[in-house]
């Protein structure tokens, strides 16, 4: 196992209890603010000491409370890209990048830095100071500085939160490419499912210090195992479920009874339905049970340039509604047609999660 994190630490309000493992893939650590995700990164980096546990980076134990191993940050081979980049304000871009180069003979530092400056498209900026370059360039400098030190793992702490939207998309792509070149383990901490999904292979959902799901990203998206995982993976429609029988769930909040991909009776829980998984059902009179075709009225909508978010209600005077994302073409059809409309919610897209003892 190249990477192993198995740590516990008492924090104000909750207990951090994280278990992660992996090889050279990118792991996305998803969680709301205060879930303990940044603390986890700090523990791996050695800035914060866990109460107990074990951390292995690139096959090397850097922390083991039982064996009394606790390497200093500089000995861990961990590269950390800080949320605010933490560049040295008094050093030029070149000096920032050169700072961490140590493994080669001194005479080659300049050449190594020059190569990174070239590769990271920072050529005209080498003699400037961090405050004289843009946010995206600062991020590139920070990443070049991390890579210059040749770490065994790269940790990224909310790296895109300080960037404008248009820059963010561009930097996500660029960063993914850089991490692929890097070729070793990496962990991305974020609260944004889109960033995590775009950058990572595996996703871990962290809530109140505990890992709620840790799997291949598509599996986490399709089958979130807990309510927290459902929420943090961006599921728009979540409601409590009252009773389940014969593979059906009853959702009082929406006044619906749907077939879901659940086996047997599972007790209390929630269902989640992603807004983009709901489909317009155009064949009429096809209302047989088990196909999850339901009548719906349009309660409201909001438009974006390419898609429309429609709010559905399931009785004419109902108030609770379901978010539904449709493309422009479908929307035109729906808007001009008669109400109620029929929508289909595929049974395998109705995600059921069991209530955990500490869910509130």
Partner 1 sequence: MISDFSPLLISLKTSLSATLITIIIGVPAAWIVASYNVRFKGLLDSILTLPMILPPTVAGFFLLVLLGKRGAVGKLLERMDMSVIFTWQAAMIAAAVVAFPLMYKTARSAFEQIDRNVLDAARLLGASEWKVFLRVAVPMAWPGIAAGVLLSFARALGEFGATMMVAGNIPGKTQTMPLAIFFAAESGDMKQAYAWVILIFAISLVMMALMNYWNEYQKRLVSSEGRRN
Q: Distance of CA 51 to CAs 56, 58, 68, 70, 279, Å?
A: 16, 22, 12, 11, 49
Closer CB to partner 1, 128 or 219, in the complex: 128
Alpha-carbon distance 313 to 108, whole Å? Answer: 67
Decide if residue 82 touches partner 1 (CB under 8 A): yes
Decide if residue 129 touches partner 1 (CB under 8 A): yes
Decide if residue 78 touches partner 1 (CB under 8 A): yes
Pick the stretch among 61-69, 142-150, 172-180, 278-286 that binds partner 1 (CB under 8 A).
142-150
Decide if residue 102 touches partner 1 (CB under 8 A): yes
Strand order across the 237-241 sheet? 237-241, 269-273, 351-354
Strand order across the 52-57 sheet? 69-70, 60-64, 52-57, 3-10, 15-22, 210-216, 202-207, 26-30, 185-190, 153-157, 78-81
**By C-alpha distance, which of 265, 297, 279 is closest to 346?**
279
Decide if residue 243 touches partner 1 (CB under 8 A): no
Alpha-carbon distance 265 to 245, whole Å? Answer: 6
**Closest approach of partner 1 to the CB of residue 7, in Å:** 18
Pick the stretch among 9-17, 23-31, 45-53, 249-257 that binds partner 1 (CB under 8 A).
45-53
Which residues are paired to 20 by β-bridges?
5
**Closest approach of partner 1 to the CB of residue 78, in Å:** 6
Decide if residue 182 touches partner 1 (CB under 8 A): no
Going through 124-283 in order, the beta strands assigned E by DSSP cover: 153-157, 185-190, 202-207, 210-216, 237-241, 244-245, 248-251, 256-259, 269-273, 279-280
Closer CB to partner 1, 92 or 276, in the complex: 92
Number of residues lying near partner 1 (CB under 8 A): 29
| Residue positions counted in the chain | 360
**Closest approach of partner 1 to the CB of residue 191, in Å:** 19
Among 51, 59, 86, 332, binds partner 1 (CB under 8 A): 86
End-to-end C-alpha distance for the chain, whole angstroms: 36
**Closest approach of partner 1 to the CB of residue 8, in Å:** 21
Q: Is the dihedral of CA 210, 215, 216, 222 positive or negative?
A: negative
Decide if residue 124 touches partner 1 (CB under 8 A): no
Pick the stretch among 17-25, 28-36, 94-102, 105-113 that binds partner 1 (CB under 8 A).
94-102
Decide if residue 259 touches partner 1 (CB under 8 A): no
Decide if residue 73 touches partner 1 (CB under 8 A): yes
Decide if residue 106 touches partner 1 (CB under 8 A): no
With tokens 């050279």, the residue in question is 24
Question: Does residue 128 contact residue 87 with C-beta atoms inside 8 Å?
Answer: no
**Closest approach of partner 1 to the CB of residue 164, in Å:** 17
Decide if residue 10 touches partner 1 (CB under 8 A): no
Residue partners of 217: CB distance under 8 A and separation at least 6: 28, 196, 197, 200, 201, 202, 203
In this structure, what token pair is assigned to residue 347?
């049974």
Taking the C-alpha atoms of 264, 217, 208 and 252 in order, what is their torsion angle to the nearest 10 degrees?
-40
In this structure, what token pair is assigned to residue 169?
């998309």
Among 9, 37, 54, 145, binds partner 1 (CB under 8 A): 145
Among 22, 31, 79, 269, binds partner 1 (CB under 8 A): 79
Among 6, 17, 60, 99, binds partner 1 (CB under 8 A): 99
Closer CB to partner 1, 131 or 319, in the complex: 131
Pick the stretch among 25-33, 79-87, 112-120, 189-197 that binds partner 1 (CB under 8 A).
79-87
Residue partners of 99: CB distance under 8 A and separation at least 6: 88, 91, 145, 148
Among 131, 284, 285, 304, binds partner 1 (CB under 8 A): 131
List of residues contacting partner 1 (CB under 8 A): 45-47, 72-74, 76, 78-80, 82, 84-90, 99-100, 102, 129-132, 145-146, 148-149
């Amino acid at each position: 196992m190249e990477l192993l994190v198995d740590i516990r630490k008492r924090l104000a309000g909750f207990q951090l209890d994280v278990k992660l493992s992996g090889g050279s893939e990118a792991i996305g650590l998803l969680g709301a603010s205060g879930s303990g995700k940044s603390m986890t990164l700090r523990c791996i980096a050695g800035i914060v000491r866990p109460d107990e546990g074990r951390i292995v980076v690139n096959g090397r134990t850097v922390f083991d409370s039982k064996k009394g191993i606790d390497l200093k940050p500089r000995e861990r081979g961990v590269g950390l890209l800080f949320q605010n980049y933490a560049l040295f304000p008094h050093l030029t871009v070149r000096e920032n990048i050169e700072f961490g180069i140590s493994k080669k003979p001194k005479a080659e530092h300049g050449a190594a830095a020059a190569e990174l400056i070239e590769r990271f498209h920072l050529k005209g900026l080498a003699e400037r100071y961090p405050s004289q370059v843009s946010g995206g360039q600062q991020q590139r400098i920070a990443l070049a500085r991390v890579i210059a030190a040749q770490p065994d793992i790269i940790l990224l702490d909310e790296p895109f939160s300080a960037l404008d939207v248009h820059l963010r998309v561009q930097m996500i792509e660029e960063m993914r490419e850089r991490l692929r070149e890097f070729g070793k383990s990496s962990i991305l901490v974020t609260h944004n499912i889109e960033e995590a999904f775009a950058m990572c292979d595996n996703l871990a959902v962290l809530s109140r210090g505990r890992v709620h799901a840790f799997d291949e990203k598509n599996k986490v998206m399709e089958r979130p195992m807990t309510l927290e995982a459902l929420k943090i993976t961006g599921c728009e429609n979540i409601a409590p479920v009252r009773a389940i029988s014969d593979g059906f769930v009853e959702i009082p909040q929406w006044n619906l009874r749907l077939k879901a991909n659940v086996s047997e009776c599972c007790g209390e829980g929630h269902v989640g339905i992603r807004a983009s998984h709901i489909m317009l059902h155009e064949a009429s009179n096809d209302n047989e049970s088990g196909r999850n075709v339901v009548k719906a009225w349009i309660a409201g909508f909001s438009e974006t340039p390419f898609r429309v978010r429609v709010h559905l209600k399931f009785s004419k005077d109902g108030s609770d509604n379901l978010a539904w994302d449709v493309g422009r073409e479908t929307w035109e059809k729906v808007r001009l047609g008669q109400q109620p409309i029929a929508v289909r919610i595929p049974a395998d897209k109705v995600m059921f999660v069991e209530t955990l003892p500490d869910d509130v």
